[in-house]
Chains A and B, each alone.
Chain A
């Protein structure tokens, strides 16, 4: 957890430095407020970073417990990432009207849901997307890379 926190803080610091370099090119009045925010955030992140790196390593028992919990969380994270990645890919390739119902169908079937819900929910989503957003709200729906002319 401590190592992850340090990585997250370093990433945050990198983002702040990037923001600082981008903001410095602005006109003096426009850059004033963002610079105040970036500098104060930078100080807080540095303080947190020092605090995180000074914390002593937990005891062996706690380390083992934390490792087990970390592994479990890591697995959950990978699973969620895989599903979200699949969701993104299905939308990107097949568009909203087909990609979304397909995602729901795959998700429900993978989690062993009954056929009734596995059919009702994707159909409902198709109706919401195609009729609700596409026809009634006149949103130009993304058609997907495979169906683009």
Chain B
């Protein structure tokens, strides 16, 4: 049974790769579709996707509100992938943080892995301002 599944996966990947290679010249034409044709259709499909999650119109309005947030962030030069990562990983981080706190209590912050993660986080936040200041001082 296991080998049948593995075999099917291997075969599916090979067939998929062959189809992709053969159809690539045709599929590439999708990128040449003008934005004025794609935009309204995409907005509708995205709205349907948002609606069908809970069958609620509020989700569509939320999707539109997030569109404005994304646009504003883009205009002001804020990282949208960063925001999205935080949004997706926030729930997981909270859950596992709760589990860790329940298991180790406050000592959880003093475990080697926690200290390393805290150090990486602090240095990644502090790196850019410090590097900019050092660069200015050199100039």
Contact = CB atoms under 8 A, between A and B. Distances in A.
A4 B76 contact: yes
A104 B45 CA distance: 11
A77 B72 CA distance: 10
Contact of A1 (B36, B51, B76): B76
Interface size class of A (residues with CB under 8 A): 35 or more
Interface in A94-149: 96, 100, 103-104, 107-108, 111, 113, 117, 121, 124-125, 128-129, 133, 137, 139-140, 142
B41 A142 contact: no
B57 interface: yes
Nearest to A77: B71
A29 B48 CA distance: 37
A57 B47 CA distance: 41
B40 A29 contact: no
Contacts of A124: 41
Interface string B33-55: 00011011101110110011001
B127 to A, nearest CB: 14
Contact of A8 (B52, B55, B72, B98): B72
A140 B51 CA distance: 10
Interface in A31-82: 32-34, 37, 44, 73, 77, 80-81
B97 interface: yes
Interface string B88-99: 001001100110
Nearest to B86: A37
A4 B75 contact: yes
B55 A103 contact: no
Given A80-B71, A91-B60, A121-B40, A139 B55 contact: yes
Contacts, number: 74
Given A37-B90, A88-B64, A107 B39 contact: yes
Given A33-B98, A92-B57, A140-B55, A103 B90 contact: no
Pairs of residues from A and B, 4 with the lowest C-beta to C-beta distance, nearest first: A107-B40, A104-B40, A100-B44, A33-B94
Given A8-B76, A33-B94, 13 more contacts: A84-B64, A87-B43, A88-B61, A91-B60, A96-B47, A96-B51, A104-B44, A108-B40, A111-B36, A121-B37, A129-B44, A140-B55, A142-B51
Interface of A: 1, 4-5, 8, 29, 32-34, 37, 44, 73, 77, 80-81, 84, 87-88, 91-92, 96, 100, 103-104, 107-108, 111, 113, 117, 121, 124-125, 128-129, 133, 137, 139-140, 142
8 contacts: A5-B76, A29-B98, A29-B101, A91-B60, A108-B36, A121-B41, A125-B44, A142-B51
